[in-house]
Structure 1
């Protein structure tokens, strides 16, 4: 199971990390907060790959890579 940061997810979607953080704050994308997991990030939000795929209704990571933020 992979874990993504706000920056990594935003880069994949072509949007800003603040937009992903806002989705997490609103509870739309399930996430957890950690600053001690060894992943370098400005944000402490961590998103599990399966939660991201569920939110965007994707079955695989390849499907998710086709999604662009609007």
Structure 2
């Protein structure tokens, strides 16, 4: 049973690595490696917590030939 206050993953603006992996089909290890790059446009750091900007990740994967 889903929590009434739970926001669907496709409506969230920022995702955890686990949510981003489920959303995009890219593995957690690969997402971690991609977001470790200091020029990564789709990572948001909240202290030590890494969040993935969903819309920016979508833009990145739309343009990418391979990852």
TM bracket (short chain): 0.5 to 0.7
Question: Relative contact order (alpha carbons < 8 A, sep ≥ 6): 1 or 2 greater?
Answer: 1
- How many matched pairs? 53
In structure 2, distance between residues paired with 1:15 and 1:57: 13
Output the aligned Cα RMSD.
2.8
Note the residue ranges of structure 2 that are not aligned, 5 or more in a row.
1-11
Relative to the length of structure 2, the TM-score reads 0.56
Note the residue ranges of structure 1 that are not aligned, 5 or more in a row.
36-42, 59-68
Instruction: Give the greater-gyration-radius structure (CA).
Output: 2
